[in-house]
A and B are shown apart, each in its own frame.
Chain A
Amino acid sequence: MNNILKNAKIHFLVLIIVIISEIIGTKTLNVGIGVIALFPMLYAMVLGGIISLPSIKFLNTKEMNKAAHFLGICFMLFVIKVATAIGPSLPKIFDVGIPLLIQEAGHVLGTIIIGLPVALLIGMKREAIGATYSIDREPNLAIIAEKYGADSPEGRGALGVYICGTVFGAIYVAFLASIIGGWGIFHPISLAMAAGVGSNSMMAAATGALSVIYPDLKDDLIVYAGAANLMAGAIGIYVCIFFSLPFTARMYTWLEPLLGRKKAAVKKEETGL
């Protein structure tokens, strides 16, 4: 009971944030290159983020760790809700089984194909391998730590992208989904599969943005995004171990002499970690 009271502050804050966010509701913002979808879960994240800023001194580190702990537990509920949307649509998903598998290659290769050259062009060294071999969520961190060690350059690169993902991944992916979705060149189902990216919060945010653009297809969007996400979760680890990581390392030795900066000066500051 004592524990519940101690945690009540966090839960109460979440309740208030949820009410405020849901009252504001969905908005769209025209920014020239496209329309940005704004919706409750984004406000919730930003409001929560502001409250937790160390300079505001409203939450201490222990409470923030608690919030992260609760986050891990309630992801379970989210996954179940997604799964109960997938269940009734299983025939629909089997129907697009092969495209679903093929697009998974896009999720895997997309990080490496543009990530690695850009990382090398701006002067990263071996950090680039860890940073670009995957989207660097928790399981990927474990893989790189096992192979290179957590404090290796490769490990620091992966950790850097992981931190960025935690801090602004969901919000960035939501913006990305609304801008690219607004172009109108991709079918909503393609966008939904693409939204099945990375962590649950990234997927939720990307799918949320797409549902603002295609409100009538809301249910379908979550089905395809959820299926892509689950598939990535089921096979992703093996793909990372047996393909992505060795492939990125090979590409690195090949591309680094071509694109890498010769200066030896950029070393420790590559990741800042």
Chain B
Amino acid sequence: MKDKIIVFSVVGLITLVGNWVGYGVSPIKAFPGMVVIALIAIIGYLLSKIIPIKLPAVFWVALLAILISSPIFPGHAFFTKLTDEVNILALATPILAYAGLSFGKDIGVFKKLSWRIVVVSLVVFTGTFLFAAILSEFSLRLFGKI
């Protein structure tokens, strides 16, 4: 848990810098929102330890965050006003930087893969995106939503 709190704090601070450089939001203004996000992470994580239903921690964390930001929760507007200051793309940039830095450990195995699996991967990613887009478009139109 201590490990997680440290990582949340460090990533939170890096995000505030990125949010400032890339989206012009001053770190002072976005700080409370970042704290709220980190607190939800910690509480959600603790909840997942207490609740006897076995589901990944991320599920409880997401559920908690949706709950306190949804219209049924008193004070939801207060929370979302704070978290709105943290740009989602600013939060994604450091995450993908960590992903990039871990890339080297997979490159050895990746080089050993045959060309076939690489081709199939591309087709699989394309297929899932394209078919989801087609079915979304179809069903949204069918129900007159777009």
Inter-subunit contact A106/B132 (CB<8 Å) = yes
In the complex, chain B residues 90-122 whose Cβ is within 8 Å of any chain A Cβ: 90-110, 112-114, 116-122
Q: Which residues of chain A are near B38, meaning CB under 8 Å?
A: 77
Query: Is B126's beta carbon under 8 Å from chain A?
Result: yes
Q: Which residues of chain A are near B106, meaning CB under 8 Å?
A: 163, 166-167
- Say which one of A28-36, A51-59, A144-152, A250-258 lies at the interface with B: A51-59
Inter-subunit contact B102/A131 (CB<8 Å) = no
**Closest residue of B by beta carbon distance from A176:** B129
Q: How distant is the Cα of A115 from the Cα of B109 in the complex, in angstroms?
A: 22
Inter-subunit contact A77/B37 (CB<8 Å) = yes
In the complex, chain A residues 8-26 whose Cβ is within 8 Å of any chain B Cβ: 10-11, 13-15, 17-19, 21-23, 25
Q: Which residues of chain B are near A51, meaning CB under 8 Å?
A: 100-101
Inter-subunit contact A201/B99 (CB<8 Å) = yes
Inter-subunit contact B100/A208 (CB<8 Å) = no
Query: Is B135's beta carbon under 8 Å from chain A?
Result: yes
Q: Which residues of chain A are near B121, meaning CB under 8 Å?
A: 131, 160-161, 164-165, 169
Q: How distant is the Cα of A59 from the Cα of B118 in the complex, in angstroms?
A: 26
Q: Which of B8, B14, B93 has the most chain A CB atoms closer than 10 A to its own CB?
A: B93
Partner of A118, one of B22, B58, B69, B123: B123
Inter-subunit contact B93/A189 (CB<8 Å) = no
Inter-subunit contact A177/B98 (CB<8 Å) = no
Q: How distant is the Cα of A127 from the Cα of B125 in the complex, in angstroms?
A: 17
Inter-subunit contact B143/A99 (CB<8 Å) = yes
Inter-subunit contact A54/B104 (CB<8 Å) = yes
Q: Which residues of chain A are near B117, meaning CB under 8 Å?
A: 124, 127, 131, 157, 160-161, 164, 270-272
Query: Is A234's beta carbon under 8 Å from chain B?
Result: yes
Partner of A161, one of B94, B97, B105, B120: B120
Inter-subunit contact A49/B140 (CB<8 Å) = no
Q: How distant is the Cα of A49 from the Cα of B103 in the complex, in angstroms?
A: 5
Partner of B88, one of A82, A115, A186: A82
Q: Which of B8, B23, B69, B119 has the most chain A CB atoms closer than 10 A to its own CB?
A: B69
Inter-subunit contact B131/A107 (CB<8 Å) = yes
Q: Which residues of chain B are near A259, meaning CB under 8 Å?
A: none
Inter-subunit contact B102/A71 (CB<8 Å) = yes
Q: Which residues of chain B are near A157, meaning CB under 8 Å?
A: 117, 120
Listed A/B pairs (9) with beta-carbon separation below 8 Å? A44-B100, A80-B40, A84-B80, A84-B83, A88-B69, A110-B127, A166-B106, A187-B137, A273-B109
